[in-house]
Amino acid sequence: MSVPDRRIRVLVAKPGLDGHDRGAKVIAAAFRDAGFEVVYTGLHQTPEMVVAAAVQEDVDVVAMSVLSGAHMTLFPRVRTLLDAQGLEHILLTGGGIIPKDDARALGEIGVGRVFGPGTPTGEAIAYIRDWFAGREDPY
């Protein structure tokens, strides 16, 4: 696997009312350790705030942590808002407590792979690196 000429920019977002952010902080640190540029939004972000941050920070990836059960609302809303701004090229991925059927349904609307509790951070890192390397025009 080749290393990109520039660092991958990732926004780690914690949308909704869920106050549990340990996983988001762990993955943000793992992404930084892997050489990604990381911006963490903090808790209680609306989908609109997540997309505004993605635009402002010019990210390649939005990685959301959703543990509240609102994943079938939050992921589609963020995907819709990104697409409405012409940002279909941004990978929307994330993790949380998301049933496999819901993960499949999210994939059908353009959400990338979602990672459940206990997934090694290296899997998410490899997934993003592979996605980035496979883009036709990564710049």
pLDDT of residue 1: 46
Distance CA 117, CA 32 (A): 20
Strands 37-40 and 91-96: unpaired
Can you give the pLDDT of all 139 residues of the chain as single tens digits?
Answer: 444 578 999 999 999 988 889 999 999 999 999 999 999 999 999 999 999 999 999 999 999 999 999 999 999 999 999 999 999 999 999 999 999 999 999 999 999 999 999 999 999 999 999 999 998 664 4
Q: Copy the structure tokens of residue 110.
A: 């353009």
Is residue 116 within 8 Å of residue 95, measured between CB atoms? yes
CA distance 112 to 44: 22
Residue 136, pLDDT score: 62
Domains of the chain: 9-132 (3.40.50.280)
Residue partners of 92: CB distance under 8 A and separation at least 6: 61, 62, 64, 75, 78, 79, 82, 110, 111, 112
How many Cβ atoms from other residues are within 10 Å of residue 76's Cβ? 17
Query: Is the sign of the CA dihedral 110, 115, 121, 127 positive or negative?
Result: negative
Q: What pLDDT is recorded for position 119?
A: 95
Structure tokens at 82: 């990104």
Q: Provide the pLDDT for residue 137.
A: 60
User: For residue 20, what pLDDT is reported?
Assistant: 87
* H helices present in 1-139, as ranges: 22-33, 47-57, 71-84, 100-108, 121-134
